[in-house]
């Protein structure tokens, strides 16, 4: 008999990367800071977290602490700052409780969402005690009369936004060496259980990608290793098929995420949004469809998976096994970064969508 996979087993292989489930993206989000009063939030060093600040002017600030960016579990104090005469928006102050400022092991991410369109010379700045400022290299994205400013920092004091000169922008990028010491790394190591009678299936995904530029945006290169177990009772016997498929050259581009359109049609803003989970799982800490928990960054890519497996048929007390050669599968994926967490959605034609969760963080080179 040929070792090539049969038509029936091709159908089985098509299920290798399919699945469903209720993945979780945990968000540790602080209280909204509409007043200038100091707020507090606890950040777990291993899991990371984020602080969301809503100044009175209507803009929004997010401070994202990736996994292990802080050395130990910490209580963070933060507040909005009044808009300075020379600033583009309100700023914020943040420190570890009981200390002046906060030093990090790995980079944290600042995101200013400003409700007006600014040009590329808008920048996040660190305010100094003498009233001057330090320009922080900033990525600027605009859309639909809104601006997103993103920067990476290694310590905290007071931060805000200003319009700078091209010379200041160039000099900051040349001299800001802190980020050049780090890679940004995405890890996804997750599994999905799927029981669709008579098939019982579990899919495991080990995914890692690295960006060596020192910027969270840009090109990531890595690998995807998937394993699946498929078990089915059929015709008085049992069929077991295990597959391993890999892509050793995954490449994709991470960019800022900016919403293209409102989440609900105009006039329907007061209608309740459908939950992301069903029934008893509604209390799981999934990212809700609220502005402060929309994706911060996003990417599209393709997995070119190739591998092989083994199929075993058991019936009447007898078993027979054989190797199965798998043809290449090309499947699209969509990735979002929500605070320190990553959600990877894999689409396989004709099968359910898979969701795998992981995280992103800066690491020393």
Helices marked H in the chain = 7-14, 166-175
Q: pLDDT tens-digit profile of 339-355?
A: 899 999 988 776 778 89
In this model, does residue 335 exceed pLDDT 50?
yes
Tell me the pLDDT band of 209, cut-offs 50, 70 and 90.
Answer: very high
* Cα→Cα distances 284→56, 277, 287, 291, Å: 30, 8, 9, 19
In the chain, the percentage of residues whose pLDDT exceeds 90 is 33
Q: What is the pLDDT of residues 310-329, one digit of tens each?
A: 767 776 677 767 777 766 78
- Please compute the mean of the pLDDT values over residues 90-113 and round it to a whole number: 88
Assign 309 a pLDDT band (cuts: 50, 70, 90).
confident
| Confidence tier at 228 by pLDDT (50, 70, 90) | confident
Query: Given this model, what pLDDT does residue 350 score?
Result: 63
Q: Which has the minimum average pLDDT: 89-93, 249-253, 324-328?
A: 324-328
In the chain, pLDDT over 70 holds for what percent of residues?
A: 76
CA distance 318 to 56: 73
Mean pLDDT check: name the lowest of 15-19, 164-168, 230-234. 15-19
Would you call the peptide bond into 198 cis, given omega within 30 degrees of 0 as the criterion? yes
Q: What is the pLDDT of residues 14-37, one digit of tens each?
A: 333 333 333 333 334 444 433 457
Res. 253: pLDDT tops 90: yes
Residue 79 confidence (pLDDT) above 70: yes
Contact 190, 346 (CB under 8 A): no
Residues in contact with 92: Cβ distance below 8 Å, sequence separation at least 6, in sequence order: 33, 53, 55, 61, 63, 78, 79, 80, 81, 158, 159, 160
What is the arithmetic mean of pLDDT over 65-73? 91
pLDDT at 283: 38
- Domain annotation for the chain: domains and CATH numbers: 7-23+183-269+285-364 (2.40.160), 39-180 (2.60.220.30)
């Amino acid at each position: 008999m040929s070792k090539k996979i049969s038509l029936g087993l091709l159908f089985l292989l098509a299920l290798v990367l399919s699945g469903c489930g209720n993945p979780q993206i945990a968000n540790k989000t602080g209280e909204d800071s509409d007043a200038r009063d100091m707020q507090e939030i606890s950040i777990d060093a291993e899991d990371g977290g984020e602080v969301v600040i809503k100044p009175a002017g209507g803009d929004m600030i997010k401070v994202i602490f990736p996994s292990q960016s802080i050395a130990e579990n910490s209580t963070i104090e933060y507040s909005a700052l009044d808009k300075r005469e020379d600033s583009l928006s309100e700023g914020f102050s943040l420190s570890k409780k009981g200390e002046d400022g906060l030093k990090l092991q790995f980079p944290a991410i600042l995101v200013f969402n400003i409700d007006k369109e600014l040009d590329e010379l808008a920048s996040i700045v660190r305010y100094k005690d003498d009233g001057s400022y330090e320009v922080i290299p900033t990525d600027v994205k605009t859309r639909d009369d809104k601006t997103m400013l993103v920067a990476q920092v290694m310590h905290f004091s007071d931060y805000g936004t200003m319009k700078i000169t091209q010379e200041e922008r160039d000099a900051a990028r040349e001299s800001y060496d802190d980020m050049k010491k780090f890679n940004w790394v995405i890890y996804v190591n997750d599994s999905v259980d799927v029981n669709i009678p008579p098939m019982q299936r579990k899919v495991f995904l080990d995914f890692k990608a690295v960006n060596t530029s020192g910027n969270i945006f840009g090109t990531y290169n890595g690998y995807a290793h998937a394993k699946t177990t498929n078990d089915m009772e059929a015709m008085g016997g049992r069929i077991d098929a295990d597959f391993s498929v890999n892509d050793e050259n995954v490449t994709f581009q991470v960019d800022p995420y900016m919403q293209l359109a409102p989440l609900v049609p105009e006039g329907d803003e007061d209608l309740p949004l459908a939950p992301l989970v069903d029934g008893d799982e509604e209390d799981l800490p999934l990212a809700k469809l609220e502005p402060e928990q929309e994706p911060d960054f996003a990417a599209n890519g393709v997995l070119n998976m190739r591998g092989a497996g083994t199929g075993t048929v058991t019936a009447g007390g007898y078993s027979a096994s054989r190797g199965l050669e798998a043809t290449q599968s090309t499947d699209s994926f969509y990735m979002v970064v929500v605070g320190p967490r990553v959600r990877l959605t894999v689409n396989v034609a004709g099968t359910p969508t898979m969701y795998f969760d992981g995280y992103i963080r800066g690491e020393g080179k």
